[in-house]
């Protein structure tokens, strides 16, 4: 049975191996409420074993029939011991999909290979590239998902590099992978960190060494050709795209709430940071406001990191936003000793945010 030996940390977060803080994070964040139902749902599902037992990225895409496709990057599979440890030879698939039923319960974990010898759901046989999830949208009878490709360059947990972006298509309702297409963009930007459909366009946000970049296509046109935001207009040339905002993570979210666009990310300006920030803009292209501190994740420590803050608007109540973030340990042994570390956390934040003194 093939086993992966480690979980890799997303590349755009690798400014530092230290948890840090910044002037942005100096103000105390307002009170935040964990979403107990979602946290308990995923912990109970993972503890059962026999499918997903932990993963990162945590993208949710509502499907037309009332189900939800939950997309993950590196995913632990296999069994869980009674003491919440996992066997050292637990398999890791580089990407998976967990199906949530219309009644809210979690169903099967979709992956490649077999139950005894699992592989990534999306990838090319014999390739030395692996695929990490960006974001996905439904178009007609298909789910389209952008993945970033990475190649391992050494034996260390941080030894890998971005090699480009691909579009995977899943046929509905079976969620069968049907096509994998290379998008003709460079390997400098992790395109597809967020997909936002608005005003007849799908806006494709990307991260490049902690900086926000933006492309767009007509709705349904992720195959291209893409146009790239230059700071003043749109160009067919990726090299003309502009850096829009510093300090964003490899993954983040942009959500339209009323008449404004809300970008939520973990603050990466100082390195690994436990601080969740929100920026607002009047259009998908910005400019974005000064950041507001939403939350300080308590799990962060000298070797545990938090990352990939992502809003889930379809799960959010009026006046609130449900946001997930991921937790990982820089010591792979920690994730073996305690399955609960490497799982998403869900919190509910006020939107518009309450001042910290209210």
CA distance 63 to 255: 18
What's the pLDDT score for residue 144? 98
Domain definitions of the chain by residue range: 53-350
Alpha-helix residue ranges (DSSP H) falling in the chain: 36-48, 332-337
Could you read off the pLDDT of 188-207 as tens digits, one per residue?
999 999 999 999 999 999 99
CA distance linking residue 101 with residue 67, whole number of Å:
5
What would the pLDDT profile of 236-280 be if each residue is shown by its tens digit?
Answer: 999 999 999 999 999 999 999 999 999 999 999 887 899 999 999
**Domain 53-350 bears CATH identifier 2.115.10.20:** yes
User: What CA–CA distance (Å, rounded) separates 297 from 88?
Assistant: 28
Q: Please, are residues 237 and 228 in contact by the beta-carbon 8 Å criterion?
A: yes
Query: Looking at the DSSP assignment, which residues form a beta bridge with residue 93?
Result: 75
> Tens digits of per-residue pLDDT, 159-181?
678 999 999 999 999 999 999 99
What distance, in Å, lies between the first and last C-alpha atoms of the chain? Answer: 55
pTM, rounded to two decimals: 0.92
Q: What is the mean pLDDT of the chain?
A: 91
Question: Over 70: is that where the pLDDT of 155 sits?
Answer: no
Q: Residue 20 corresponds to which tokens in the numbers above?
A: 């840090």
At residue 356, the pLDDT reads 56
pLDDT at 15: 37
pLDDT of residue 8: 58
Evaluate if residue 17 carries a pLDDT over 80: no
Q: What is the mean pLDDT of residues 5-34?
A: 52
| Per-residue confidence band for 14, with pLDDT thresholds at 50, 70 and 90 | very low
CA distance 260 to 257: 6
Cβ partners under 8 Å of residue 154, min gap 6: none
C-alpha to C-alpha distances, 128 to 44, 94, 150, 161, 187, nearest whole angstrom: 34, 12, 9, 12, 16
Give the distance from CA 137 to its chain's centroid: 14
Exposed, middle or buried by CB within 10 Å (0-12, 13-18, 19+), for 303?
Answer: middle
């Amino acid at each position: 049975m093939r086993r992966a030996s480690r979980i890799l940390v997303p590349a755009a977060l690798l400014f530092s191996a230290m948890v840090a803080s910044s002037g942005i994070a100096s103000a105390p964040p307002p009170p935040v409420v964990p979403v107990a139902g979602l946290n308990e749902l995923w912990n109970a599902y993972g503890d059962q074993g026999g499918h997903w037992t932990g993963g990162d990225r945590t993208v949710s895409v509502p499907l037309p029939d009332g189900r939800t496709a939950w997309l993950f990057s590196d995913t632990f599979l296999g069994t869980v011991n009674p003491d919440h440890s996992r066997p050292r030879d637990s398999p890791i698939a580089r990407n998976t999909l967990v199906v949530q039923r219309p009644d809210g319960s979690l169903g099967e974990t979709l992956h490649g290979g077999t139950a005894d010898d699992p592989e990534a759901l999306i990838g090319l046989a014999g390739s030395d590239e692996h695929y990490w999830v960006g974001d996905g949208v439904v178009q007609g009878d298909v789910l389209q998902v952008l993945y970033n490709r990475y190649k391992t360059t050494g034996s260390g947990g941080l030894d890998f590099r971005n090699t480009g972006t691909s579009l995977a298509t899943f046929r509905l309702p079976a969620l069968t992978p049907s096509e994998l297409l290379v998008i003709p963009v460079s390997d400098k930007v992790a395109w597809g960190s967020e997909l936002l459909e608005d005003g007849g366009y799908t806006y494709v946000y990307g991260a490049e060494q902690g900086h926000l970049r933006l492309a767009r296509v007509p709705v349904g046109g992720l195959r291209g050709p893409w146009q790239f935001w230059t700071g003043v207009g749109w160009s067919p040339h990726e090299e003309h795209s502009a850096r829009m905002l510093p300090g964003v993570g490899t993954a983040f979210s942009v959500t339209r709430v009323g008449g404004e666009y809300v970008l939520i990310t973990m603050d990466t300006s100082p390195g690994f940071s436990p601080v969740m920030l929100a920026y607002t803009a009047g259009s998908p292209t910005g400019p974005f406001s000064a950041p507001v501190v939403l939350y300080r994740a308590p799990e962060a420590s000298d070797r545990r990191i938090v990352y990939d803050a992502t809003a889930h608007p379809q799960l959010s109540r009026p006046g609130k936003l449900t946001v997930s973030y991921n937790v990982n340990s820089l010591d792979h042994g920690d994730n073996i000793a305690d399955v609960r570390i490497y799982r998403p956390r869900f919190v509910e934040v006020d939107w518009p945010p309450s001042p910290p003194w209210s």
